[in-house]
Amino acid sequence: CAFACCPPGKPGFAGGEDVLGWNLLNQIGARHDVWALTTSQNKTSIEQGVSEGLINHVRFQYLDLPFWLRPMLRIQGGHQAYYFLWQIKAYFVARRLHRKQRFDLFHHITYANDWMASFIGGLLPIPYIRGPGGGAHRTPKGFLKEYSLNGKLWELVRSAGQWAFRHDPFFLISQNRAKAILVCTSESMAQLPQSWEQKAHFFPVSGVSREDLETEAPSPSSGEIFEVLSAGKLIRIKGFALAIRAFKKFSDLHPNTRFTIAGRGPEEVHLNKLISSFGLEEKVILCGEVPRDNLLNKMAAVDVFLFTSLRDGGGTVVTEAMAVGTPVVCLDAAGPGLHINENCGLKVVPASPEQAVEGLAAALDVLY
């Protein structure tokens, strides 16, 4: 079950989750015959990838809910409700296929949050693997003031919804039936009941492949400017305002610096105002979306990759920066906090926004 699935570099709708789904299917398909249940949202990109020979031994079965439910995918939180309903339909499709194919194993790959039921995993009578997934990570205490009122309300709704879903009988049945639970954050591992701990394994929720790790990237520039890069969707939980405030403190000490942020999103207007208020128009650049191959090259050519997400189970861009040998500065939380150690970057414990800004600026200074 790979609801989100799309070849890297092709149009998708779920970002890093799409790439995760595709690359895991590719690895599983290298050793087994696979039937993949997925949404038709990425059908064009998937079929292009298949025709180009980017994946083998995987047969895609597309299924969707009625078209009038698709607006749910564009509403915050609506895509999770849509997926919950989609899974019910996926179970009946899987059951019908199982009668013909007699599958040996079911693997629930994407949207494997640690709080949502897997109907196929809970009801199809074959061994079941879940993940990688997270969900228990939350915005650190004290950082909610970084959010708008709507953002604060959404965090409350998210926490309440997760509590309710974790008490869903189908969730409990599917978790009890799982032979292995792949978990991507320390927070998700810590919230598992003791009865599930023995079958839980850490597994990063990123779609970085061996080919990415072997890519020959350009050497960092030896110019006079110290280059800092960040990337992601411009939304409040990504913490780009914290990054800009930290860079302001850092650049006051070192004028020969520049900060580039790649991505688009609803926070763009707010971030531009913040940049103007600091007088950083010439030093902080919002460059818009960058194709993945170009982004990897940009990562390799800068001095530091700065990632300040307040709540991110994966942080694929952090792993991509590591893949091209660029040191990372990030918050010590969730996925990035699990990936980064003293050999590849610096982490800042997020105690408060003010402390985080000071710590991030100090980390940039160390690497400078």
User: What was the pLDDT predicted at 277?
Assistant: 95
Decide if pLDDT at 237 tops 90. Answer: no
pLDDT beyond 80 at 150: no
pLDDT of 218 strictly over 60? no
Q: What are 61's strand-pairing partners?
A: 37
Residue 44 has pLDDT above 70, yes or no: yes
Q: Tell me the pLDDT of the chain averaged across its residues.
A: 88
The arrangement of strands across the sheet holding 106-108 comes to: 106-108, 128-133, 180-183, 200-202
Give 65-121 pLDDT, tens digit per residue. Answer: 998 998 888 776 788 889 999 999 999 999 999 999 999 999 999 887 888 899 999
- What pLDDT does residue 217 have? 58
Mean pLDDT calculated for residue range 24-38: 94
CA dihedral 143, 148, 152, 157 (to 10 degrees): -140
- 220 has a pLDDT exceeding 60: no
- Is the pTM of the predicted complex or chain greater than 0.75? yes
- Range 125-136 average pLDDT: 88
Give residue 212's pLDDT. 66
60 - beta bridge partners? 36
Structure tokens at 79: 């895509």
Confidence at residue 225, expressed as pLDDT on a 0 to 100 scale? 92
CA–CA dist 110, 3 (Å, integer): 6
CA dihedral 293→296→300→306, nearest 10 degrees, is 150
Residue 98: predicted pLDDT: 97
User: Can you say whether residue 232 is alpha, beta or left, with left for phi > 0 and alpha for psi between -120 and 50 degrees?
Assistant: left
Give 226's pLDDT tier (boundaries 50, 70, 90): very high
State the pLDDT at residue 39: 93
| pLDDT tens per residue, range 249-301 | 999 999 999 999 999 988 899 999 999 999 999 999 999 988 877 888 899 89
Give whole-number Cα distances, 333 to 75, 115, 148, 330, in Å.
Answer: 26, 19, 21, 8
Pick the more confident residue, 339 or 234.
234
Q: Which of 94-103, 104-113, 171-180, 332-341 has the lowest mean pLDDT?
A: 332-341
Residues 253, 327 contacting (CB under 8 angstroms): no
Cis peptide bond prior to 132, omega within 30° of 0? yes
Confidence tier at 22 by pLDDT (50, 70, 90): very high
Q: Which residue has the higher pLDDT, 76 or 173?
A: 173
For 308-322, the pLDDT digits (tens) are 988 776 778 888 888
pLDDT of 160 above 90:
no
Side chain identity at 182, as an amino acid letter? Answer: L
pLDDT-based confidence at residue 136 (cuts at 50, 70, 90): low
